[in-house]
Structure 1
Amino acid sequence: MRVVLAGGGTAGHIEPALALADALRHLDPSIGITCVGTERGLETGLVPARGYDLELVPAVPLPRALTPQLLTMPGRLAVAVNAVAAVLDRVRADVLVGFGGYVATPAYLAAKRRGLPIVVHEANPRPGLANRLGAKLTDHVFAGFPDAAFRGDYIGTPLRREIVTLDRLSTGDKARSWFGLENDRPTLLVFGGSRGARSINQAALAAAPALRAAGVQVLHVLGPGNSAEREPPPGDPQYVLLPYVDRMDLAYAAADLALCRSGALTCAEMTAVGLPGAYVPLPHGNGEQRINAERIVAGGGGLVGDDAELSPDWIIRNVLPILRDPERVAVMSEAASRLGRKDADIMLARKVLEIAR
């Protein structure tokens, strides 16, 4: 069997696709898997690093309004559809699975042209334009968010095995040592998603003296391409500043609480491992990040703040009291874990095999 996966741009599209690829190979090592993406997305690094074939096709961003770009889209889309169709023919695909992003639109149209089964997975509560199109072309639609404004069966978001099998309690000491942190201090993890978040970076760095004075150590992942305005001086407790972390499972295990965005992938991973969060939704888009965070807050697994109000004072008033209260951290951790799904990768893999056969 040969499966083609279409999802690119950000880690929120790529990581669920790769988690599905791993689950498919786990169920049947003989399955052929090909990913399609564009040269502008993170897939150019993430997919080959995980050992899967990547075919690049032209990116076709769908405009959200009537702009001059709209006039050039039909021709550009036709080129991309032909490119994906050529990939489907070359690998003799049996099924196409799409996760959204620039590459998904031509992939869905190419699969429809070839008469292949199409599977759509949407991780967000509100689907993007590509997946809204894909959902009109197939009955096989799955949602990563419960009660989503999307016609699809709730299945959760496929996650990496190292995330869903993580035991934070038993791995915590090892993880903190891995990052040069102490084992007996409350630990705050700061990160902004696959590309980082400047407002979170700046607020956390400015709050460093107050966090240290309260005995809190920090593991801060800036994100690729983000440079700190001013690194905290060496001192105790530790403030570990890193541009990127490729072992997020250990970062989650090292932390008692995270200050982060609330993208679908981040929320799925945090609840799967039972890590409470202080969520600061991205202030752009269609509001799905706030919906993601509010579901967790309603379940007791975190708190949410506005990006416009994020400041060192906000961190001191809202984040610091949680870190200084171990019982509250434990209660929030249990609440977060009750909201997580750990089997979405295997469940979706079985659905894909059934549909393809």
Structure 2
Amino acid sequence: MSRPLSVVLAGGGTAGHIEPMLALADALRRRDGDLVITCLGTARGMETRLVPARGYDLRLIPPVPLPRRPTPDLLRVPGRVRRAVADTRKVLDEVTADVVVGFGGYVALPAYLAARRAGRGRAGIPIVVHEQNALPGLANRIGARLAARVAVTVPGTPLHRGEHVGMPLRTAIGTLDRAALRAQARSEFGLDADRPTLLVFGGSQGAQTLNRAATAAADRLADAGVQVLHARGPKNTHVTVPERPSGTAPYVLVDYLDRMDLAYAAADVALCRAGAVTVAELSAVGLPAAFVPLPIGNGEQRRNALPVVEAGGGLLVEDAELDDAWIGAHLLPLLTDPARLAALAGNAAAAGARDADERLADIVLEVAGR
């Protein structure tokens, strides 16, 4: 082909779709600086901020929310799909798309249908699907039936012709050497260099259950010499702990963690939710975690964490069971046992994948005929 390859990526809505999409974009750009990358999103998603910040072209289409259960809103879906598919076809024609890669969510279904109907051949534009969660959503279940290749993050994901690839990760995470960065990371957060360290975070907005349990356990942790780095969420400024006397284990509260690579490097164990990206990042960098799946939804967070937990790389605790007593009974013995920590870290790393971005890029280029 005389013109540059044109790849369209559909992954708007939440960070769980956007981050792997951008990790793939970076991997493709490293392969070929002339390659044309176009991202599809909606005006109400995080992609309006994240995609332009990474230097990629973003085209907006109407969102197509897919109800999880039969509701009156389901009747509006066909009309929304038709409008979104029409707008998406215009974008695919304008950028002369050679391949469409979908990550699920609001924009993926219109992208799959538009790709099937567009292009210069009867088969349309070839499609690659990437599923982040252990339990796939409706858009990717449909897309998998239309796709040339289907990649999954979690082994055993029930998706048609799914092949285990892993989760595409940001370069800062995929190449992280926790041991080499530990001293710098702890200094950056005002932590002591040699104390065992617990990292607490509940996603970009924080999590009330985690905030409540961790702060209630502050004295137990301090008495055991364990320091804490805790991201409470920008709207949770009411979450506080008493100021620590000089010489005791620090408890560092922040609203948000801009540098997750430094947070992972500073920590020995994480206490966190079990979103697909979180589980993939922690296992890739070899950081053991106590996963606390969201108690709502379809149970996908529990399924996300199970392969790592079953491999001996972490713990699983239900939201209703997490409190300061659980932290004292399960996390304190782990944080103060270097041999057990090392074993869990090794198991977590063995269950992770650092090169999923490159493996998915291989698939995309192969499907595109490059």
- TM-score normalized by the length of structure 1: 0.96
1:315-334 matches, cutoff 5 A:
315-334=327-346
Q: Determine whether 1:17 maps to 2:18.
A: no
- Tell me which residue corresponds to 2:308: 296
Once residues 208 and 49 of structure 1 are traced to their aligned partners in structure 2, the CA distance between those partners, rounded to angstroms, is: 37
* Distance (whole Å) between structure 1 residues aligned to residue 212 and residue 12 of structure 2: 28
Select which of 231, 234, 239 maps to 1:230: 239
Aligned to 2:92, the other structure's residue is in SS state helix
Query: 2:197: which partner in 1?
Result: 187
> In 2, Cα distance between the equivalents of 1:144 and 1:58?
27
Q: Which moved more, 1:331-340 or 1:233-242?
A: 233-242
State the 1:334 CA deviation: 0.8
Instruction: List gaps (5 residues or longer) in structure 1.
Output: none
1:251 aligns with 2:245: no
- 2:75 aligned counterpart, secondary structure: helix
Q: Which 10-residue stretch deviates more, 237-246 or 102-111?
A: 237-246
- Aligned equivalent of 1:215, options 207, 225, 231: 225
Report deviation, 1:87: 1.5
SS of alignment partner, residue 103 of structure 2: strand
Helix, strand or coil: the match of 2:109?
Answer: helix
- Counterpart-to-counterpart distance in 2, 1:328 and 1:199: 26
Q: CA deviation at 1:242?
A: 1.6
CA contact (8 A) 2:232 2:239 kept: no
| Contact persistence 2:148–2:367 (CA under 8 A) | no
**Is the contact between residue 226 and residue 335 of structure 2 (CA under 8 Å) also seen in structure 1?**
yes
Structure 2 counterpart of 1:341, from 350, 353, 362? 353
Alpha-carbon shift at residue 196 of structure 1 (Å) = 2.6
Does the aligned pair in 2 maintain the 1:263–1:292 contact within 8 Å?
yes
Q: Which residue of 1 aligns with 2:58?
A: 54
Separation in structure 2 between the aligned mates of residue 100 and residue 23 of structure 1, nearest angstrom: 19
> Number of aligned pairs?
356
Report the Cα distance in structure 2 between the residues aligned to 1:18 and 1:233, rounded to whole angstroms.
40
SS in 1 for 2:256: coil
**CA distance in structure 2 between the aligned counterparts of 1:160 and 1:342, rounded to whole angstroms:** 10
AA aligned opposite 2:277 = L
Q: Does 1:71 align with 2:71?
A: no
CA distance in 1, matches of 2:334, 2:21: 35
Residue type matched to 2:114 in 1?
A
CA distance in 1: counterparts of 2:54 and 2:286, whole angstroms: 25
Shift of 1:195: 3.6
**In structure 1, the residue corresponding to 2:293 is in which secondary structure?**
coil
Preserved CA contact (<8 Å) 1:11 1:194 = no
Give me the whole-angstrom Cα distance separating, in 2, the residues matched to 1:14 and 1:344: 15
Q: TM-score, normalised by structure 2?
A: 0.93
Q: Distance in 2 between matches of 1:106 and 1:203?
A: 42
Q: Which residue of 2 aligns with 1:310?
A: 322
The one-letter amino acid of 1:291's match is: R
Partner of 1:157: 167
Stretches of 4+ aligned residues off by more than 4 angstroms: none
What amino acid maps onto 2:271 in structure 1?
L
RMSD across aligned positions (CA): 1.3
Amino acid at match of 2:321: E
